[in-house]
């Protein structure tokens, strides 16, 4: 039989039971708290993993849809998704790599800008030097040109002075007469044609043609109208002699002969105006073919008509 417990023992046992119960309740509370912390950690890891998966999947989907929208949900597509899910994306590392790349590009841009500035400064200096040299060359050229021009002007001035100092050249008698005719009378061409025999000495093929030619022969078709080369008065209209049918028109001390004509339109004593039709080209008198013998005289001395006007 159990012995009867005293009041003191009962109190001591009651205290021990209470202490054990208190200790057991504390242990259970601690265990539960530990389990909650571990559950929270697991939830955070799961969320992180899900976020990484979603981000990776979204990036890949966007890129892949752009490149090949017909290849979605195929076996290769699923394999690639599995490969992405098989490894963890380190966003911090990606951020550091991007940052490093940006910094390198900035450094390169700084270096390039520095080189460009140096190059531009160097080019500007070269251009300035080149422009300076060009300006100097132009100045030298202008100085040389001015010196040459001054020298030329001096030479011309000295030449003119020498010419002024020299006595004027004396004209021959023929030159004086030609100048007098030009100064007092104007001429036009009597006909258009080819010059077949000039004024002066010649070597004729026919014995009847004189060697000393006193005028200029102008060949033209038979019947071509002859115009008066000057104003004047008909002092002779004749059909006699070697000249055949011919006219002599006087203006002052100058007279003009129109010889070997086919027909004469004017008569002796008529007043003639320049350009008036006075005769026709013919081959009368001592002639070898139709032409006009055009002769100019001053004080009955013959002058080369080609020195008076262009025929």
Structure tokens at 179: 């100048």
- At 254 the pLDDT is 94
72-98: pLDDT as tens digits: 556 666 677 667 656 555 666 766 777
pTM of the model: 0.47
154 lies in some domain: no
Task: Locate 236 and state its tokens.
Answer: 């002779």
68 and 181 within one domain: no
Would you say residue 281 lies in a domain? Answer: yes
The token pair that represents 226 in the structure block: 């002859």
Beta bridge partners of 302: 297
Cα 123–Cα 126–Cα 128 angle in degrees, nearest 5: 110
104 assigned to some structural domain? no
State residue 53's pLDDT score.
Answer: 84
Considering 48, 68, 89, which residue would you say is the last residue of a domain?
89
In this prediction, residue 34 carries a pLDDT of 47
Distance, CA of 226 to CA of 290 (rounded, Å):
13
More confident residue, 260 or 137: 260
Query: Residue 1: pLDDT above 50?
Result: no
Number of neighbouring beta carbons within 10 Å of residue 146: 10
Instruction: Judge if 184 and 289 occupy the same domain.
Output: yes
Last residue of a domain, one of 89, 114, 139: 89
Strands 291-298 and 254-264 turn out to be: antiparallel
Higher pLDDT, 297 or 113: 297
294 with 184, same domain?
yes
| pLDDT, mean of residues 213-225 | 95
The verdict on residue 294 lying in a domain is yes
Q: Domain for residue 249, yes or no?
A: yes
pLDDT at 250: 96
Average pLDDT of the segment spanning 174-195:
92
3-state secondary structure of 187: coil
- For the chain, the domain total comes to 2
Determine what percent of the chain is predicted with pLDDT higher than 70: 62
Chain centroid, CA 134 distance in Å: 23
Can you give the pLDDT at residue 26? Answer: 57
> Do the domain assignments include residue 15?
yes
Asked if residue 148 belongs to a domain, the reply is no
Of 125-134, 195-204, 253-262, give the lowest mean pLDDT range: 125-134
Q: Are residues 179 and 299 in the same domain?
A: yes
Can you tell me which residue has the tokens 């081959």?
283
Residue 187 — very low, low, confident or very high, per pLDDT cuts 50/70/90?
very high
Query: Would the pLDDT of 109 be above 60?
Result: yes
Q: What is the pLDDT of residue 303?
A: 93
Reduce the DSSP state of residue 226 to 3 states and report it.
Answer: strand
Question: For the residues of 126-161, what is the DSSP string, one character each?
Answer: HHHHHHHHHHHHHHHHHHHHHHHHHHHHHHHHHHHH
Pairing between β-strand 225-227 and β-strand 277-281 as defined by DSSP bridges:
antiparallel
Do 205 and 299 fall within a single domain?
A: yes
* Shared-domain flag, residues 83 and 182: no
Residue 126 sits at the vertex; the CA angle it makes with 120 and 131, to the nearest 5 degrees, is 125
Asked whether residue 246 carries a pLDDT value surpassing 50, the answer given is: yes
Question: For the domain that residue 247 is a member of, what is the CATH number?
Answer: 2.70.70.10
Tens-place pLDDT, residues 6-48: 777 777 777 777 777 777 665 555 444 445 556 666 677 778 7
For residue 139 the two structure tokens come to: 């100045």
Q: Which domain holds residue 26?
A: 1-89
Residues making up the chain, counted from first to last: 311
Model pLDDT for residues 131-161, shown as the tens digit of each residue: 556 666 666 666 666 666 666 676 676 666 6
Query: Which of 65, 89, 113 is at the close of a domain?
Result: 89
The listed range with the strongest mean pLDDT (106-115, 156-165, 206-215, 226-235) is 226-235
Determine how many CB atoms are found less than 10 A away from the CB of residue 81: 17
Place 174 in a pLDDT band, splitting at 50, 70 and 90: confident
| Contacts (Cβ under 8 Å, ≥6 apart) of 275 | 188, 227, 228
Q: Please report whether residue 213 resides in a domain.
A: yes
Choose between 271 and 31: higher pLDDT: 271
């Amino acid at each position: 039989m159990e012995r009867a417990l005293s009041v003191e023992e009962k109190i001591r046992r009651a205290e021990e039971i209470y202490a054990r119960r208190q200790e057991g309740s504390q242990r259970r509370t601690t265990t539960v708290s530990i389990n909650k912390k571990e559950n929270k950690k697991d939830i955070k890891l799961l969320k992180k993993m899900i976020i990484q998966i979603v981000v990776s999947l979204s990036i890949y989907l966007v890129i892949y849809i752009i490149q090949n929208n017909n290849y979605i949900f195929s076996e290769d597509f699923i394999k690639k998704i599995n490969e992405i899910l098989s490894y963890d994306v380190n966003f911090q590392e990606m951020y550091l790599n991007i940052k490093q790349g940006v910094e390198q590009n900035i450094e390169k841009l700084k270096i390039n800008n520095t080189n460009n500035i140096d190059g531009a400064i160097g080019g500007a200096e070269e251009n300035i030097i080149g422009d300076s040299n060009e300006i100097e060359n132009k100045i030298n050229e202008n100085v040389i040109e001015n010196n040459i021009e001054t020298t030329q002007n001096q030479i011309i001035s000295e030449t003119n002075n020498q010419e002024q100092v020299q006595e004027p050249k004396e004209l021959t008698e023929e030159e004086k007469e030609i100048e007098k005719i030009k100064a007092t009378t104007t001429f036009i061409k009597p006909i258009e044609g080819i010059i077949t025999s000039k004024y002066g000495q010649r070597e004729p093929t026919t014995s009847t043609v004189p060697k000393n030619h006193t005028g200029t022969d102008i060949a033209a078709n038979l019947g071509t109208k002859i115009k008066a080369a000057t104003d004047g008065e008909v002092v002779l209209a004749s059909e006699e002699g070697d000249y055949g049918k011919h006219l002599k028109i006087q203006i002052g001390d100058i007279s003009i002969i129109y010889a070997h004509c086919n027909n004469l339109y004017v008569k002796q004593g008529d007043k003639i105006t320049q350009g008036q039709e006075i005769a026709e080209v013919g081959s009368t008198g001592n002639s070898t073919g139709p032409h006009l013998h055009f002769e100019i005289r001053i004080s009955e001395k013959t002058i080369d008509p080609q020195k008076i006007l262009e025929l």
